[in-house]
Chains A and B, each alone.
Chain A
Amino acid sequence: AQRVTQPEKLLSVFKGAPVELKCNYSYSGSPELFWYVQYSRQRLQLLLRHISRESIKGFTADLNKGETSFHLKKPFAQEEDSAMYYCALSTNVNYGGSQGNLIFGKGTKLSVKP
């Protein structure tokens, strides 16, 4: 079954510390992976996607097919990074998946303390 697992419900770090939000997925085909973020009182928005290989707001994520992981990292956390982070998987239609619907993890709440 297709699944996304985010093992940490809450991650609390101090400003300037490195951050790693974990994401593991289960999918037999070729996945498309995303990180979405929801800041307080704002709507869910895309942070980054693995195919673009961009660094957004200092965050990066590398797809590791061997470990089926897509962990989100930032070397120096800022207070404005405090938010809810969701890892999401989009399945490839050629492997019988749906055309673009996202499978989300339960999310990790990141709290960056001053």
Chain B
Amino acid sequence: GAGVSQTPSNKVTEKGKYVELRCDPISGHTALYWYRQSLGQGPEFLIYFQGTGAADDSGLPNDRFFAVRPEGSVSTLKIQRTERGDSAVYLCASSPTNYPDTQYFGPGTRLTVL
């Protein structure tokens, strides 16, 4: 079956611009997670959705970052006024339920801020 998909696979933008990253979870998975992976680091938690609501957004680094999941399926991570330090691979994962189910990861979106 289809796994988690993320678009775009690569995004290059200029400092100060706005970007949106999209995640399509596995059909029927209620839990959705966003992580950020910088070079040489493990994935770092950003935000977790259970259904349509953000159950935990404690990992978002600042108010430039925001994510939505309006219909409980597709999610969009939005970054305003991008900075060079935002450059990273953004990973999305979904699981059938919440803790402690296996998380299935997407291929990631590589964001480069020039």
Q: What residues of chain A have their CB less than 8 Å away from a CB belonging to chain B?
A: 4, 6, 32, 36, 43-46, 49, 51, 86, 88, 90, 92-93, 98-107
Contact = CB atoms under 8 A, between A and B. Distances in A.
Contact of B42 (A92, A93, A105): A105
Contacts of B98: 99-100
Interface residues of B, number: 30
Contacts of A104: 35, 42-44
Contacts, number: 72
Contacts of B58: 98
B99 A44 contact: no
Contacts of B31: 99-100
A93 B40 contact: no
24 contacts: A32-B99, A32-B100, A43-B106, A43-B107, A45-B104, A46-B103, A46-B104, A92-B99, A98-B45, A98-B99, A99-B48, A99-B98, A99-B99, A100-B31, A100-B33, A100-B99, A101-B33, A101-B59, A102-B33, A102-B45, A104-B35, A106-B40, A106-B41, A107-B41
